[in-house]
Amino acid sequence: MQSQGSSHNLRPVFAVLLAMAFWGMTFVWVKIALRAFNPVSILLIRLVLSSLLLWVIIIITGKYQKIHLKDIRLFALSAFFQPFLYFLGETYGLSYVSSALGSIIISTIPVFTPAGTWLVYREKLGWKNLLGFLASFTGVVLIVFAEGNAGETSLVGVIMLFVAVVAAIANALTVKKLTASYNSFMIVTVQNLFGIFYFIPLFFLLDYPDMNSISTDPRIWRNLLALAVFGSTLAFLFFTYAIRSLGVNRSSIYSNLIPVFTALFAFLFLGESFPFLKIIGMAIVIGGVLVVSLRNAGKKSATFA
């Protein structure tokens, strides 16, 4: 009985580790897909496939909820931040920088989030938040310098990735109001639907003229499918399962592993280099995020529907 209990307790840990591995791998999948598709095409295909899967899961699990008209504006606003602006910043950013650097910058979201809550809700900023911010900023500078010397990065890519960071924070602040009325499945699914409508005009404006030379490489399409199935659907479901047992804050601590997974996968599948300065910068950033995450872990965890 004791071994069964231990196995049961380990399930949410395995689930959250799988979620982080999938999210870490998305940076590699995007880099591979960018060899044949423009960013908007990748995002539109990813959202359409993920939305179809989520609707199937919602119907099977009975998670469907009716959307109230008064909340449509809030859904539209949150979807503008994420997936629309977030994925644009992330995907375009990855077309200029390495996948390892991209995951490192995205991992600073919990570090910069307190600044957003201070601006919107006037929540106080603690010294650990400031320390985490300074450490993460210093680490990113070191990584940019290391990759810049190797010709692997550009300022444009870094700026685009920080646009994604800001968009993710804005989305979290906006979606906070929706969590009181809707479960997480419905929120993400409706956001994806709005995101599809946001991306369609950009697709016809930017990518449609090149669709006559669409790639037939099965490897590219496998990566697109993996982005939708693992990165946008299963990772979310595994993370939600973990949250129910571990809580939001404890589960979020594992996000520090995303850059580690990405660095490993990028080395194995993309042959990205790892100079010593880059390793030091990654360690500093992860340390800064960990400081903020451990501080937040001490607070009361919220529940996820």
Q: Is residue 136 part of a domain?
A: yes
In 3D space, the residue among 91, 265, 248, 90 whose CA is nearest the CA of residue 163 turns out to be: 90
Tokens representing 225 are 């499918």
Contact in structure between 91 and 24 (CB atoms under 8 Å): no
- Euclidean distance between CA atoms 57 and 46, whole angstroms: 17
Tell me how many domains the chain contains: 1
Q: Is residue 139 part of a domain?
A: yes
Per-residue pLDDT of the chain (305 residues; tens, 9 = 90+): 444 555 557 788 888 889 889 988 998 899 889 888 888 989 999 999 999 999 999 999 998 999 999 999 999 999 999 889 999 998 999 888 888 778 878 877 766 766 666 665 555 656 666 676 677 667 766 766 666 555 556 788 889 999 998 888 888 778 778 877 888 788 889 989 999 999 999 999 888 776 666 667 788 889 999 999 998 888 877 877 776 677 655 666 677 677 778 877 888 888 777 677 777 877 777 776 666 556 555 444 433 33
What is the pTM for the complete model shown?
Answer: 0.74
Count other Cβ atoms within 10 Å, centred on residue 109: 22
Q: Is residue 71 part of a domain?
A: yes
Q: Is residue 113 part of a domain?
A: yes
Number of residues that make up the chain: 305
Q: Is residue 191 part of a domain?
A: yes
- What domain range includes position 198? 2-297
Q: Is residue 304 part of a domain?
A: no
Task: Say if residue 214 is exposed, middle or buried (CB neighbours under 10 Å; 0-12, 13-18, 19+).
Answer: exposed
- Euclidean distance between CA atoms 102 and 68, whole angstroms: 37
- Euclidean distance between CA atoms 259 and 144, whole angstroms: 15
